Amino acid sequence: MTADLFESVAEVLPSRQAMAEGAVLLRGFARPAEAGLLAALRQIEAQAPFRRMFTPGGHQMSVAMTNCGCCGWVTDASGYRYDGADPESGNPWPAMPAAFRDLAEAAAREAGFAGFAPDACLINRYEPGARMSLHQDRDEKDFAAPIVSVSLGLPAIFLFGGLKRTDRPQRYRLEHGDVVVWGGPSRLSFHGVAPLADGEHPALARRRINLTFRKAR
């Protein structure tokens, strides 16, 4: 009984794994905030439903997206940008919930980026087979702020490379509650997600949700 208790505590205790200079994986960091995050997510989704956007080259993305905060990351025939309004409805994006902001700020602080003040959160929804090819996050005004990325639901293989597209990426299995923070010398690192394997998650069923916090403006 005591041994079981220790094992289950060890499972949910956060731990830190250095990935590169300025990049760290905080395992389980979001677990204590899970209920608040999922409740806030349901509200956002009701106001600004997930949609699969088109790249400027005309390809429909396999990942479905929505946003909250001052502005949302969007892509269409005219390019990638942050937009203050949801192009589907014309309404402003839902405000960033306190549960989201608090978690992102705490994770950034834990990773050595105290004072991170995210103004935008891109929310990615992966269903089995969905993937994100290697890219840099570079549509933000100021690269001094880090990126904070929260994984919920089904596990995924996160690819984290270097500053050149051709640098061979490292592979990390990200599980429900894991948080990755990259900034400083890693801020423009190429990253992506391998095709999502099918599975069933107790809270999110056959989905992976990724919250990506940025200082966009």
Q: How far is the CB of 63 from ligand SIN (least distance, A)?
A: 7
Closer residue to ligand SIN, CB minimum distance, 40 or 120: 120
Task: State the Cα angle at 79 between 87 and 46, rounded to 5°.
Answer: 25
Is 137 near Fe ion (CB under 5 A)?
yes
DSSP 145-203: S-EEEEEEES-EEEEE--SSTTSPPEEEEE-TT-EEEE-GGGTT--EEEPPPPP--BTT
Bridge partners (DSSP) of residue 17 are: 25
C-alpha distances in Å from residue 130, one per residue of 138, 164, 179, 198: 22, 24, 20, 10
Closest-approach residue to Fe ion (CB): 137
Q: How far is the CB of 212 from Fe ion (least distance, A)?
A: 6
Q: How far is the CB of 41 from Fe ion (least distance, A)?
A: 19
Interatomic CA distance for residues 46 and 214, integer angstroms: 22
Asked if residue 61 lies in contact with residue 55, where contact means CB atoms within 8 angstroms, the answer is yes
Is 105 near Fe ion (CB under 5 A)?
no
Strand 179-182 and strand 147-153: the pairing is antiparallel
- Per CB under 6 A, the list member of 86, 212, 213, 214 interacting with ligand SIN is 212
Q: How far is the CB of 117 from ligand SIN (least distance, A)?
A: 19
Question: In whole angstroms, what separates CA 202 from the centre of its chain?
Answer: 20
Is 30 near ligand SIN (CB under 6 A)?
no
Write a three-state SS string for 92-108: ECCCCCHHHHHHHHHHH
- Binding partner of 210, given Fe ion, ligand SIN, none, CB within 5-8 angstroms per partner class: ligand SIN
- Per CB under 6 A, the list member of 93, 158, 160, 190 interacting with ligand SIN is 158
Phi-psi region of 205 (alpha: psi -120 to 50; beta: other; left: phi over 0): left
- Binding partner of 37, given Fe ion, ligand SIN, none, CB within 5-8 angstroms per partner class: none
Site string for ligand SIN, 121-150 (x = CB under 6 A): -x-x-------x----------------x-
- Binding partner of 86, given ligand SIN, Fe ion, none, CB within 5-8 angstroms per partner class: none
- Per CB under 6 A, the list member of 189, 210, 215, 216 interacting with ligand SIN is 210
Question: Residues in the site for ligand SIN, rule: CB under 6 A?
Answer: 122, 124, 132, 149, 158, 191, 193, 210, 212
